[in-house]
């Protein structure tokens, strides 16, 4: 046997020399054609265990007049070459620099961006919320109509309440709310609160004096 040939070439040459194909070789050896192809192409996953394969190779060598031991040795040599390295890995170097995966890199970048944002805006986030009342402007005001429009400005993400009632704040931070006054003094408490942080309270007094219509 020419040892420089690989298994596939050797079997192809032998079949050609005998003027046989795989179907005919299967009939002569009793080995299923699929196993003949698997042996020739070294498709290990399509073959049964080694003792069966050795029996197939013995029948093939006898039919094609090839030395059985040499053919079996060639098969095992190519089998070793094919499987070596598939499961063998170099030991992990504990001291090698490990590069984080792409998902971890993205997560780290987001954490850094968040940290920078908090550092730059911590004063604004933790500081006292903005709350300016423009109507009524003075601490004490007299009104002659029962419905009074309360108005002012805060920050859009602040929670705003007037006498405990939550009030809608526009995207620009402005707010306005109609308030029904009672005759006499009315205490109005405006409260703005940042999420989980400080709050600011402004109190105004509106004295409602209903207008009197004198009939003649």
Are domains 7-83 and 132-208 of this chain identical in fold? Answer: no
Bridge partners, residue 132, by sequence: 153
Fold type of domain 7-83: 434 Repressor (Amino-terminal Domain) (1.10.260)
Q: Are 153 and 175 in contact (CB under 8 A)?
A: yes
Overall pTM > 0.85: no
pLDDT values of the chain reduced to their tens digit, one per residue, 216 residues: 554 678 888 888 888 888 888 899 888 888 898 988 988 888 888 888 888 888 888 998 888 888 888 888 888 888 888 777 554 555 555 555 666 677 888 889 888 888 787 666 655 556 788 899 999 999 999 999 999 999 999 988 889 999 999 999 999 999 999 999 999 999 999 999 987 668 899 999 999 998 765 454
The C-alpha atoms of residue 125 and residue 119 are separated, in whole angstroms, by: 10
Chain mean position to CA 177: 44
Domain ranges of the chain: 7-83, 132-208
With beta carbons less than 8 A apart as the criterion, state whether 158 and 169 touch. Answer: yes
Cβ partners under 8 Å of residue 163, min gap 6: 187, 188, 189
Fold of the CATH domain 132-208: Immunoglobulin-like (2.60.40)
Residues 84, 97: Cα–Cα separation, whole Å: 27
């Amino acid at each position: 046997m020419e040892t420089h040939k690989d298994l596939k070439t050797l079997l192809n040459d032998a079949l050609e020399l005998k003027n046989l194909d795989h179907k005919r070789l299967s009939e002569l050896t009793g080995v299923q054609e699929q196993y003949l192809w698997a042996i020739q192409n070294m498709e290990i996953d399509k073959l049964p265990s080694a003792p069966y394969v050795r029996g197939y190779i013995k029948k093939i060598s006898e039919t094609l007049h090839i030395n059985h031991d040499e053919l079996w040795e060639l098969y095992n040599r190519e089998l070793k070459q094919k499987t070596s390295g598939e499961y063998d890995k170099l030991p992990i170097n504990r001291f090698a620099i490990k590069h984080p995966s792409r998902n971890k890199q993205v997560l780290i970048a987001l954490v850094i961006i968040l940290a920078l944002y908090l550092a730059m805006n911590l004063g604004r986030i933790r500081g006292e919320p903005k709350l300016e009342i423009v109507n009524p402007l003075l601490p004490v005001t007299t009104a002659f109509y029962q419905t009074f429009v309360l108005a002012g400005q805060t920050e859009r993400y602040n929670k705003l309440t007037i006498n405990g009632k939550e009030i809608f704040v526009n995207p620009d931070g402005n707010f306005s709310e109609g308030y029904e006054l009672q005759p006499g003094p009315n205490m109005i408490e405006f409260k703005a609160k940042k999420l989980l942080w400080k709050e600011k309270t402004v109190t105004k007094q509106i004295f409602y004096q209903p207008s009197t219509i004198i009939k003649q």
